[in-house]
């Protein structure tokens, strides 16, 4: 090896050490006993635009800007005397179809590049020692809907001062913002309170105008009977007389009862309906630890030991793990297995939102129907946890909807499939959960996830923005610059005072305040809810979310500006023009249809979809998504079910008194119809599904189900 080659590689080694320190957990002076704890080794690209940092001790650090990831990999390869072939990224201005074509062409040319690799390395070895090593790094191209996240290096004096500054300013400004919202909610509720007071003075009740008033009274009376019966059984330990049982199903006798203490514990509410819950921990590919709740029937399933519910690996869908029989799989024999269904929650919520309506909760309804129900929680949630990072580290909070889709969703799906032993699962999502799924399945993200999903059920799909985005307080967030947004809301969790109030306020007061504030923010009402359970509904929200995530939703650069999760404002305007012209012409040329295929979000790997749209939803525009599918803009998407419920608002799809009739039973049926024949043979029959349960009464399918 020549002297020039030695100098070039020595220089690369020095630069690599500097870049490694820049991306490591701690600086070299802060490492413990000189160990390699958290030292950055290289970047791993989950997708071409989603790199994570691998450390020497086998852990992961969250995503970093693409150029920084390419640089550490380039320098590592240069120091080792190997050529570097980065993954292709999307050039600005190219369509999604062009990106896929470019990636395919790159793979076809890979052999030619490998053949020329030796010559390239020889030429590189003869470069001058003054040459820039980052010249081989591909230019940085970012998706206009997903701008790069900030890069926070390891702890330093400057970074600590920066964090302290943002913590101080955001403490006062974000809490002031929250106070303004609370005052606005109180002020706007005054007319309603005055009207109710007037009705009371005139010996009338506003509740009689509610659409389910009689049903609410019946359920409230039934809950009182259950409380009395539970108390009597606990005190006397004697059997209840025949004919006096208030419990609807003897098969699922409650394991908890009495007056509702309003606590944030889905296990407690599961036991009230004869079920139970175990918690698994799942590690994402960038090191976050997620909570995955498994709902089960305690009469037929024994929970796993704590050691079996810990994170197994940061890798997902690996062949070695998929061959392992999980604890769940071992307890069900073929012919009596339960088909896995993963439920993912919405913005500022946890998966507990699916468990608040007793037997009418979607999670409990599906479990009692015969499915194996898993509840997935996104990163941070109620208990922020990472394999390396601490709560105070800003890198713990440098993520948005892209990371939840590309990293959280695969980790949750992988663990469910690992534990149950199935090749596919049913995926049911609400609001933001649908957003992260629509993002993850896009052909330039992780379209291979579609091969693991038998059907994607989207409840109140959040793809296009509704009219609510124009409200004054949302406009304020969109007007201020990114730097000012961070001054207002910090670089850590978004308004953490909400979580503090969640911990210290009594459940009834917190539930009332939660409804008041969130109904003011999002135009929700409790018109179709069981008001007797309303305080319980808000015990599982809000959760910790990052300020960067809220900036993606409401800031000036992303969703609030483009009003779509996968199309820019310009692309949306082109869709509007095309729709208007189609109404006039009523015809489409073949070339036009092919062009639409080129701009589609999804390819042939996309799973079947079923959509339930709330017709009175101001937060998102589900009708526009249905129109996109109806116009043929997604030729590979198979819509197996679609329904617009005109009177429903955003949360009614999971909380309305008739949600089981309007949504739950249809979700149950769609999950069964889209299962593979092999899975149907291995699984037990689903209660209530036509063609599955021989004792079920036949029902007529609507036109959109045929």
Total residue count of the chain as it appears in this document: 706
Rounded to whole angstroms, how far apart are CA atoms 419 and 321? 10
Summarize the chain as % helix, strand, coil (round to 5). Answer: 50, 10, 40
| Phi, psi (rounded to 5 degrees) for 192 | -65, -40
- CA distance linking residue 312 with residue 283, whole number of Å: 7
Helix (H) / strand (E) containing 193: helix 157-201
Q: In what order do the strands lie in the sheet with 425-430?
A: 276-283, 289-296, 372-376, 340-344, 425-430, 453-459, 609-614, 639-645
387 by DSSP, 3-state: which? coil
Identify which of 63, 192, 10, 30 has the alpha carbon closest to the alpha carbon of residue 549: 63
User: Both tokens of residue 697?
Assistant: 């009464």
Distance from C-alpha of 504 to C-alpha of 233, rounded to nearest angstrom: 32
Three-state DSSP class for residue 507: helix
Contact 546, 496 (CB under 8 A): no
Q: 369 near 688, Cβ under 8 Å?
A: yes
Residue 661 to residue 674: CA distance in whole angstroms: 20
Cα(699)–Cα(704) distance, rounded to whole angstroms?
A: 14
The residue behind tokens 């179709």 is 528
Cα 637 from Cα 602, distance rounded (Å): 7
Yes or no: say if 51 and 58 are a contact pair by the CB < 8 Å rule.
Answer: no
Please give the angle made by the CA atoms of 493, 341 and 420, to the nearest 5 degrees: 105
548 CB burial (10 A radius; 0-12, 13-18, 19+) = buried
Helix axes 66-79, 3-23, angle to 10 degrees: 140
Closest CA to 463 of 584, 348, 553: 553
**Catalytic residues, which ones?**
431, 617, 650
> Which residues, 6 or more positions from 202, have their beta carbon under 8 angstroms from its beta carbon?
none
Tell me the DSSP string of 71-137. HHHHHHHHHTT----PPP---TT--HHHHHHHHHHHHHTHHHHHHTHHHHHHHHHTS-TTS-GGGGS
3-state secondary structure string, 129-170?
CCCCHHHHCCCCCCCCCCCCCCCCCCCCHHHHHHHHHHHHHH
Torsion, Cα of 364, 369, 370, 374 (10° steps): -30
The tokens describing 604, both together, are 């042939």
Give the CA dihedral 413, 414, 415, 420, nearest 10 degrees. Answer: 90
Distance CA 91, CA 533 (A): 51
Tell me the sheet residues that pair with 61. 53
Radius of gyration from C-alpha coordinates of the chain? 27
Three-class SS state of 287: coil
């Amino acid at each position: 090896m020549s002297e020039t080659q030695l100098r070039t590689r020595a220089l690369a080694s020095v630069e690599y050490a500097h870049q490694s320190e820049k991306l490591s957990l701690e600086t070299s002076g802060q490492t413990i006993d000189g160990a390699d704890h958290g030292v950055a080794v290289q970047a791993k690209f989950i997708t071409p635009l989603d790199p994570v940092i691998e450390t020497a001790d086998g852990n992961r650090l969250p995503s970093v800007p693409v150029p920084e990831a390419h640089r550490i990999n380039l320098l590592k390869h240069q120091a080792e005397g190997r050529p570097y072939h980065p993954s292709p990224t999307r050039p600005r201005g190219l369509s999604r179809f062009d990106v896929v074509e470019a990636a395919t062409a790159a793979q076809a040319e890979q052999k030619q590049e490998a053949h020329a690799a030796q010559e390239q390395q020889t030429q590189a070895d003869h470069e001058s020692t003054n040459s820039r090593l980052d010249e081989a790094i591909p230019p940085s191209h970012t998706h206009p809907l997903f701008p790069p996240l900030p890069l926070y290096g390891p702890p330093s004096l400057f970074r600590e001062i920066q964090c302290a500054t943002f913590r101080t300013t955001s403490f006062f400004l974000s809490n002031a913002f929250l106070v303004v919202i609370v005052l606005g909610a109180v002020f706007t509720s005054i007319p309603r309170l005055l009207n109710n007071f007037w009705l009371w003075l005139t010996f009338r009740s506003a509740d009689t105008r509610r659409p389910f008033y009689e049903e609410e009274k019946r359920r409230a009376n039934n809950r009182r009977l259950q409380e009395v019966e539970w108390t009597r059984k606990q005190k006397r330990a004697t059997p209840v007389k025949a004919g006096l049982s208030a419990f609807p199903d003897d098969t699922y006798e409650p394991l908890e009862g009495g007056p509702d203490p309003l606590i944030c514990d889905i296990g407690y509410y599961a036991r009230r309906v004869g079920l139970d819950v175990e918690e698994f921990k799942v590690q994402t590919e960038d090191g976050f630890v997620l909570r995955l709740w498994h709902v089960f029937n305690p009469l037929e399933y024994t929970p796993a030991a704590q050691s079996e519910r810990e994170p197994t690996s940061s890798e997902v869908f690996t062949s070695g793990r998929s061959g392992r029989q999980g604890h769940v799989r071992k307890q069900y024999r073929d012919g009596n297995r339960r088909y896995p269904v993963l439920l993912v929650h919405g913005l500022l919520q946890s998966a507990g939102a699916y468990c608040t309506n007793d037997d009418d909760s979607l999670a409990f309804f599906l479990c009692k129907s015969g499915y194996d129900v898993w509840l997935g929680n996104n990163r941070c949630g109620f208990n922020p946890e990472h394999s390396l990072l601490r709560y105070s580290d800003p890198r713990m909070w440098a993520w948005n909807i892209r990371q939840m889709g590309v990293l959280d969703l695969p980790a949750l799906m992988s663990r469910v499939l690992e534990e149950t032993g199935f090749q596919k699962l049913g995926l049911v999502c609400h609001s933001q959960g649908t957003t992260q799924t629509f993002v993850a399945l896009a052909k330039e993200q992780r379209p291979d996830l579609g091969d693991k999903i038998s059907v994607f059920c989207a409840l109140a799909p959040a793809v296009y923005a509704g009219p609510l985005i124009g409200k004054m307080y949302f406009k304020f967030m969109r007007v201020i610059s990114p730097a000012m947004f961070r001054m207002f809301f910090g670089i850590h969790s978004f308004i953490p005072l909400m979580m503090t109030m969640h911990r210290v306020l009594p459940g009834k007061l917190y539930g009332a305040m939660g409804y008041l504030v969130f109904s003011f923010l999002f135009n929700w009402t409790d018109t179709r809810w069981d008001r007797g359970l309303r305080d319980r509904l808000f015990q599982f929200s809000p959760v910790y979310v990052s300020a960067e995530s809220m900036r993606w939703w409401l800031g000036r650069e992303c969703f609030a500006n483009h009003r779509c999760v996968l199309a820019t404002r310009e692309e949306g305007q082109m869709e509007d023009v095309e729709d208007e012209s189609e109404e006039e012409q009523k015809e489409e040329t073949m070339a036009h249809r092919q062009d639409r295929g080129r701009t589609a979000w999804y390819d042939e790997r996309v799973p079947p979809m079923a959509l339930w749209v709330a017709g009175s939803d101001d937060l998102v525009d589900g009708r526009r998504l249905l129109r996109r599918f109806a116009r043929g803009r997604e030729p590979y998407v198979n819509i197996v079910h679609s329904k617009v419920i005109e009177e429903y608002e955003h949360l009614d799809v999971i909380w309305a008194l008739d949600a089981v009739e309007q949504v739950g039973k249809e979700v149950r049926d769609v999950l069964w119809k889209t299962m593979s024949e092999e899975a149907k043979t291995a699984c037990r029959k689903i209660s209530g599904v036509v063609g599955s349960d021989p004792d079920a009464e036949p029902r007529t399918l609507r036109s959109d189900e045929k």
